[in-house]
Amino acid sequence: MKTTENRRPICVSIAKKTAEEGISAATSIGTLADIIEIRLDCLTHITVSPFLTHLPQPLLFTNRPTWEGGNFAGNEELRIAPLIEAIHRGCHFVDLELKSPPSSHHSVLTAVEKSSCRLICSWHNFQETPSFAELVGRLAMMQDQGAHIAKIVTMAHDADDVRRILMLQEEAAKMDLPLTAFCMGRPGVISRVATLWLGGFMSYCAVNDEEATAPGQLSVIALRHIEALMMGKEV
């Protein structure tokens, strides 16, 4: 599904145990997703080629470590290896955590520089939404690390947290750095929608309500329904 001037892409996160299950889940949503995120850290056997072979949508590969809320608990070189393979095989995006070791940043950046892949540098805070100054600082660090796209996701406890995270779009625009920024948790649900109309690079959602990969994540059908309402379309 092509994007319009009124909104940004919607990325559907796929977190399955096998490549076959992941491909089936991605296929089941048809053209509802603009981008598919493959959570490699959820796979029992990590592989990238089946997804690139069978899925037509632009793919984003993420291998989230346990220290950033993911499932990968192994050696760092082994964690980065499939991301680099995905880059070499022509994927559209890879996600690398801001807190990754310098060696990981160097390896991934080196691979990206020789490809058309875009690097998403991410940072998550599952406890709170820090001060605006700290958030801007994280954004600057991502730019310094060579990110093509920044991703900052925090936990919201109230409306002030949500406003703070959405305000980051103005700072990102000044830096000319595409940014995905929204909040987890019930108060943060609105930020997942609002970011699509406030300059956010994209928003993330789940295949369905039962397969959310983060607190407060909407299903792709729910997000598309809200999008249609905001665009004045019949639903």
Which residues are known to be catalytic? 124, 151
What single DSSP character describes residue 187?
G
- Residue 61: what are its φ and ψ, rounded to 5°? -105, 130
- What is the rounded distance in angstroms from the CA atom of residue 136 to the CA atom of residue 132? 6
Q: Is 64 helix (H, G, I), strand (E, B) or coil?
A: coil
Q: Which residue has the tokens 């699509």?
A: 196
What residues form DSSP beta bridges with 35? Answer: 11
Start-to-end CA distance of the chain, whole Å, equals: 17
Strand ranges for the chain from DSSP E: 10-14, 35-39, 59-62, 93-97, 118-125, 149-155, 179-184, 203-206
Cα Rg of the chain, angstroms? 17
How many helices (H) and strands (E) the chain has is answered by 8, 8
Which tokens belong to 60? 């984003």
Residues in the chain: 235
Which tokens belong to 28? 């089941």
